[in-house]
């Protein structure tokens, strides 16, 4: 259910940014207090715990995935790979939102291009096989290890979309660049269309190798390339794509919390002193976050992360998605609107 997941994510992100622009709150702590209103004493800390927990887990997964991919593709040590990825994320984070946005734009374009280059040839070449595997899957000929009804599949799609909504705290800071509601709406619609398209490309690309055990692979996309159309150069391309994606994930999530911690560190300083110390505080915050995420990846907690994501999905739905959408639709009015 990629479309369902991306719709939930897009709608929540759109309303989150609308709220941020409306009340001029671009720090996720202040934003959450505004969103939760009278329930903020309980819900705002709950969101902070949820957001930072997902930040650590998601960034650790990014480190581990990028490190493992490089290790398998070019043979460099996993530890070295994750250190390099951590260093890149750290540098991009401490240079502020302008560089982060610029990097995110370039990275997004690279990823979109890579996805199309990698999956379209495989989908076209293996299209008859995709149809065969799809029919076999529906008939129950393949044992994927998951026996789900339509309702179960829909529920997982909803949970996955809700899980992604945890990251809104990292993205609302970028609302400063696009505070206009019509601009935010265009961004949300375009993001939904692109993300949904990419998800379906990935789905059909993987479907071509369903009968070869692709779902048991740690990195299915790498399996598709190594066993599909393209050969060596495609393997290089998917490696770049995965590593760039790991950096993109880390930068987006770490920067959002770095901004929050920087404000926290300077909370007792006057305006001039806070501005003077902001660069230093940003470096300290980035180091703390990157090191924690890197350590989680090294400690072998990635399997636990995978198991925890399902539970975090419905928690995020209750803590983030439902309140934000209710606020956005006007079903839960702000105190100033009553």
Give me the tens of pLDDT residue by residue for the chain, a chain 338 residues long: 788 999 999 999 999 999 999 998 888 888 988 999 889 889 989 988 888 888 777 788 888 888 888 887 788 888 888 888 888 888 887 776 566 666 677 777 888 888 888 888 889 999 999 998 888 877 776 666 555 677 877 888 888 888 888 888 878 877 887 778 888 899 899 989 988 998 898 889 888 888 887 777 767 777 888 888 876 777 888 888 888 878 877 777 787 678 778 878 888 888 888 888 888 888 888 888 888 888 877 765 455 555 656 677 888 899 999 999 999 998 888 776 54
How confident is the model at residue 336, as a pLDDT? 63
- CA dist 111 and 115 (Å) reads 6
Q: Rounded to two decimals, what is the model's pTM? A: 0.77
How confident is the model at residue 218, as a pLDDT? 67
How confident is the model at residue 301, as a pLDDT? 47
Cβ burial, residue 23 (10 Å; 0-12/13-18/19+): middle
158-196 core/surface letters (b: 16 or more CB in 10 A; e: else)? bbbbbbbbbbbbbbbbbbeeeeeeeebeebbeebbeebb
- CA dist 251 and 178 (Å) reads 19
With the C-alpha atoms ordered 31, 32, 36, 42, is the resulting torsion angle positive or negative?
Answer: negative
CATH number at residue 311: 1.10.4160.10
Backbone angles phi, psi at 179, to 5 degrees: -80, -15
- CA dist 169 and 47 (Å) reads 9
Domain that holds residue 313: 2-337
Contacts 24+ apart (CB under 8 A), 64-68: 64/297, 64/302, 65/219, 65/242, 65/246, 66/242, 66/243, 66/245, 66/246, 66/247, 67/297, 68/218, 68/219
How confident is the model at residue 124, as a pLDDT? 92
CA distances for 105 relative to 129, 210, 248, angstroms: 35, 33, 10
| CB 222 within 8 Å of CB 242 | yes
Number of separate domains in the chain: 1
78-114 core/surface letters (b: 16 or more CB in 10 A; e: else)? beebbebbbebbbebbbbebeebbebbeebeeebeeb
């Amino acid at each position: 259910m990629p479309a369902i997941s991306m719709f939930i994510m897009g709608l929540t992100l759109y309303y989150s940014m609308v709220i941020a622009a409306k009340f001029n709150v671009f720090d996720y702590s202040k934003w959450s207090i505004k969103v939760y209103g009278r329930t903020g004493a309980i819900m705002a800390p709950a969101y902070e715990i949820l957001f930072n927990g997902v930040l650590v887990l998601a960034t650790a997964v990014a480190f581990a995935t990028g490190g493992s991919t490089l290790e398998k593709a070019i043979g460099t040590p996993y530890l070295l790979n994750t250190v390099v990825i951590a260093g890149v994320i750290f540098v991009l984070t401490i240079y502020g939102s302008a560089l982060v946005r610029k990097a995110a734009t370039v990275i997004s374009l690279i990823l979109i291009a890579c996805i199309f280059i990698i999956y379209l040839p495989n989908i076209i070449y293996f299209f008859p096989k995709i149809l065969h595997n799809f029919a076999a899957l529906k008939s129950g000929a393949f044992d994927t290890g998951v026996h789900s009804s339509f309702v179960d599949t829909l529920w997982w799609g909803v949970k996955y979309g809700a899980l992604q909504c945890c990251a809104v705290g990292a993205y609302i800071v970028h609302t400063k660049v696009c505070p206009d509601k019509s601009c935010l709406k265009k961004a949300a619609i375009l993001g939904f269309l692109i993300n949904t398209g990419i998800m379906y490309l990935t789905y059909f690309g993987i479907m071509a190798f369903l009968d070869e055990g692709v779902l048991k692979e740690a990195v299915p996309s790498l399996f598709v390339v190594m066993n599909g159309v393209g050969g060596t150069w495609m393997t290089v391309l998917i490696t770049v794509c995965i590593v760039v994606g790991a950096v993109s994930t880390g930068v987006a999530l770490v920067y959002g919390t770095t901004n929050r911690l920087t404000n926290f560190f300077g909370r007792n300083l006057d305006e001039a002193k806070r501005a003077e110390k902001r660069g230093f505080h940003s470096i300290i915050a980035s180091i703390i976050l990157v090191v924690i995420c890197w350590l989680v990846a090294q400690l072998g907690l990635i399997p636990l992360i995978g198991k925890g994501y399902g539970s975090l999905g419905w928690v995020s739905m209750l803590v983030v998605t439902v309140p934000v959408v209710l606020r956005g639709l006007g079903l839960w009015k702000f105190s100033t609107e009553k």
